[in-house]
Chain A
Amino acid sequence: MRAEANNAGWYHRAVVYLLFLILLLPLAGTLLYSLATSWSATLLPSGLTFKWYVALWSEPRFLAAFGQSLLVCVGALVLSVVVILPLLFVVHYHFPRLDALMNILILLPFAVPPVVSSVGLLNLYGSGPMAMVGTPWILIGCYFTIALPFMYRAITNNLQAINLRDLMDAAQLLGASTWQAALLVVLPNLRKGLMVALLLSFSFLFGEFVFANLLVGTRYETLQVYLNNMRNSSGHFNSALVISYFAFVLVLTWVANRLNKDKT
């Protein structure tokens, strides 16, 4: 019996490790390539070096793209927090019936393929009174719509887990105004859902390419567009870029998880 269980355990573990190996292999290869002096005709690279990373992190165009990506993502997320939080509050507190409509609306950014909607956006904002194609503003607005479903779903789940109406009623009877009740009682209890939503949207938006390339392109280069424009340069350099990008998102996720876990 025991031997059998052990065997089964081995089998399960082997499958899991194999899966990890398959997923990590390309990443490991990229990491190794980014650290190699040169790696062409041999099985293993001929030497290890940090020069690609040094070159990358002292390249002003990369730093600019990195900063611009960060700025656009953070801008879109700030906008969505400012708009969606009050919206959610109003929907759930005053018009619970609108939730069904909202659930359909938030699917739209996913239902329309990015290539199609970017053509629409180019038409709409390419000229006329709201011409902003080629500026970061259109990207912030567009990213806002992409972040919407993530934010809405995660925070809705969180709102349903707390008893919004009774909490608001209790706070108001204790003398809090609607604003005080929302800020002191409801908002702190939405922290978890909000963090999850922000993290998810951020990692998604930080790696977004189609909208960035079509709507703005090189006029306000983001990280993914920069990577695309660099595709003909050294592969070692590009590998260093990909690994840097990956490490950044990984560290960010880890930090956010740590911050979210403080209180038990």
Chain B
Amino acid sequence: MSFVSVQNLQKSYAGNPVFSNIDCHIERGEFVTLLGPSGCGKSTLLRCIAGLTPVDSGQILLDGTDIVPLSPQKRGIGMVFQSYALFPNMTVEQNVAFGLRMQKVKPDERLARVREALELVELGSFAGRYPHQLSGGQCQRVALARSLVTRPRLLLLDEPLSALDARIRKHLREQIRAIQRELGLTTIFVTHDQEEALTMSDRIFLMNQGRIVQSGDAETLYTAPVDLFAAGFIGNYNLLDADTASRLLQRPVASRLAIRPESITLGLQGELDAEVRSHSLLGNVIRYRVQVREVELVVDVLNRSPADLHADGQRVSVSIDPTALREVA
């Protein structure tokens, strides 16, 4: 029996379904990510689990009991918002203590637990500050401490990193994951950023237009997309229709084909003659656009040394690893 199981969940706004027949199961202590483009229903699903948005029908079982009839106060779920949602009139310490105050925890125990939570997010010395005196990353860590201090059964993270700049985002990502592992806390994380999803999650639910398209670990999702949407959303797949694919491989291909750009090798000697159309430097990777048999392909090559760089217009040859070809519906 899964720790969290969402069964046949339906939700619509004014007649338009946001999602229908959502089924998903999450094990105790698992870190799962709901990944999808904006408007795919992932945030709404999260809000339904939190109880902030009512559902039309279906069940959400948490540790064996249906929490749909419960108010958000009684669900024992913690949540972190993209906007931090810290209370501006309270200090960091008062913010973190708020949940314990509502639970009527005794002041001395409250203080100890607040200290502990602030130490966990490395903000012990910031207890007396007000939210407007903190940076975005610090605010989000306070918000995390505030939702952890009540020892929730389930932690929900609604795009917590989206408002932060890149460097802080990477750091906080690792910190969140480390804390989650340390506490063994079952966590659902919502994001539209595939890199965040791939690096942080035990398991990813890829969502599109109100349904779960694919679920699996990062590896499966990256290497084996089930359909066109999954292949288009994750990675930078070359997507070829059946005709183009047949022309490229010189053999009949029945369906669309997805080829990962890093599974194609560029060299001076290889199977197929090609011409470099353009290239762009992404840092550790150089992304070439090459023309092979009148098919344009994206090829990623590790940036080993400047001497390996192929100039635009240069004749090269490419080899495609046959095991990396994915037929997608």
Contact = CB atoms under 8 A, between A and B. Distances in A.
Nearest to B99: A174
B88 A175 contact: no
A167 B85 contact: yes
A58 interface: no
A189 interface: yes
Contacts of B126: none
Interface of B: 50-52, 71-73, 75, 77-79, 81, 83, 85-89, 98-99, 102-103, 130, 143, 146-147, 150
Interface of A: 162-163, 166-167, 169-177, 180, 184-185, 188-189, 191, 263
A166 B75 CA distance: 18
Contact of B88 (A162, A171, A177, A184): A162
Contact of A175 (B50, B51, B99): B99
Contacts of A171: 87, 98
A189 B132 CA distance: 13
A174 B143 CA distance: 11
Contacts of A167: 85, 87
Given A170-B85, A189-B88, A175 B79 contact: no
B50 to A, nearest CB: 6
Contact of B102 (A163, A166, A180, A189): A180
A237 to B, nearest CB: 48
Given A173-B50, A173-B75, A263-B130, 6 more contacts: A172-B71, A173-B73, A174-B99, A174-B150, A175-B102, A176-B102
B150 A170 contact: no
B89 A173 contact: no
Contacts of A185: 87, 89
B146 A166 contact: no
B87 A175 contact: no
A162 to B, nearest CB: 7
Contacts of B85: 163, 166-167, 169-170
Contact of A173 (B78, B86, B88): B78
Contacts of B51: 173
Contacts of A263: 130
Contacts of B71: 172
Contact of B89 (A170, A172, A177, A189): A189
Nearest to B149: A174
14 contacts: A166-B81, A170-B81, A171-B87, A172-B52, A173-B51, A173-B77, A173-B147, A174-B99, A174-B146, A174-B150, A175-B73, A189-B88, A189-B89, A263-B130
Contacts of A166: 81, 83, 85
Query: What secondary structure prevails in chain A residues at the interface with B?
Result: helix
A175 B81 contact: no
Contacts of A184: 98
Contacts of B88: 162, 189
A-B residue pairs, 4 tightest by C-beta? A175-B102, A174-B99, A166-B85, A188-B89
A165 to B, nearest CB: 9
Contacts of B146: 170, 174
Nearest to B80: A170
B319 to A, nearest CB: 52
Contacts of A176: 73, 98, 102
Contacts of B98: 171, 174, 176, 184
A172 B102 CA distance: 10
A166 B150 CA distance: 18
A17 B79 CA distance: 57
B90 to A, nearest CB: 8
A30 to B, nearest CB: 43
A184 B102 CA distance: 11
A184 B88 CA distance: 11
A184 B95 CA distance: 11
A103 B258 CA distance: 54
A136 to B, nearest CB: 36
A108 to B, nearest CB: 31
A175 B146 CA distance: 12
